[in-house]
Amino acid sequence: MLRFINQKQHFTLQDLMNEFQISKRTALRDIASLEEMGAPIYAEYGRYGGYRLLNQIQLPPISFNSQEIHALYFAMQALRSFSNLPFQVSFRSIHEKFINELSENQRQDIERFQNRVTFRHTEQIKDSEHLEILLLAAVKNIVIKITYQKANQSNSRTIHPIAIYAMKGYWYCQAYDMGKKAYRVFRCDRITSAEFTDIQPLVELNKITIQNAHSLWKPSEKAVPFKCQVSPTGIELFQQEHYPSMKLIHEMENTFIVGSYEPNELDFIIKYLAGFGKSIKIIEPVILKESLREYYRELIDDI
């Protein structure tokens, strides 16, 4: 409750009742207890009255129960997968500080976890040296200029980063390409330079989050629609890895992946669909089905 009122500064009985699910009587008793502890609280009367904290108070150190300790330890294990983390924070330094703050009994609990629980990760495949700039730009709503290298070609792009995420050993940046006026996803390790600009960000992007960023994606006029039937195994594979250009739909008792790909992305979509093995069946277009067959023939010939 001290942390709560420290953040709000001005609060009402109803605020306490709603936040802590307590009665009015309990809220009044708790305020009296806080005042006895030395919290500088005074009452304001009138239509917009309530309580106000005269100045912020020094809070006691945060303590965690055993379940919270275990949850924090599990969460930290995810950091071990990445050699590049935003703000260059290493797992080792965080882990040492965390362990040093624990009691002897809590340390013994963590040691038992280490001896009984294995965390298997997808290791980061390539370093992303400009991850911190990308993250700050996304958080602070700043347009940046980057050099992006792909297929042995480098080009300059001006982008508005929206969100950063990690998947299968790579960091990705969801962004709006200011030059192409389109939503794009950039692999962070392919960004060879990044710098802040004074370009005004697009106001409409302020409300975009990592959950709805894919809604910005729009296919071009040349995009080729496709439809594939998938088995339950294929559904699981799709949920593990998919892209903004595709989604799952259900028709009668069957499930399909529907979407589109650009003409220059045929090789990419073929390799992606090949990963589904026998759990997928291409319905349309015919060229996609034939291209996948040819891909399998070449694999057989190379064996």
Q: Is the pLDDT of residue 28 over 70?
A: yes
Q: Is the pLDDT of residue 145 over 80?
A: yes
Report pLDDT for 121: 66
Q: Is the pLDDT of residue 277 over 70?
A: yes
Q: Is the pLDDT of residue 133 over 90?
A: yes
Sole residue written with tokens 């009296």: 32
Question: Could you report the per-residue pLDDT of 280-291, keeping only the tens digit for each?
Answer: 999 999 999 999
Report pLDDT for 116: 82
Question: Could you report the per-residue pLDDT of 149-169, keeping only the tens digit for each?
Answer: 987 888 999 999 998 888 777
Q: Residue 242 gets which letter from DSSP?
A: -
Tokens linked to 4: 């709560």
Strands 246-251 and 224-230: unpaired
The values of phi and psi at residue 89, to 5°, are -85, 125
Identify the band that residue 183 occupies on the pLDDT scale cut at 50, 70 and 90.
confident
Report pLDDT for 17: 92
Distances (CA, A) of 250 to 231, 235, 255, 259: 12, 11, 5, 14
CB 269 within 8 Å of CB 288: yes
Of 21, 209, 99, 298, which Cα lies nearest the Cα of 1?
21
Q: Is the dihedral of CA 61, 67, 68, 70 positive or negative?
A: positive
Question: Could you report the per-residue pLDDT of 84-95, keeping only the tens digit for each?
Answer: 666 666 677 788
Question: Could you report the per-residue pLDDT of 205-264, keeping only the tens digit for each?
Answer: 877 777 777 777 788 889 999 999 999 999 999 998 888 889 999 998 999 999 999 998
Residue of higher predicted confidence among 121 and 293: 293
Q: Is the pLDDT of residue 40 over 90?
A: no
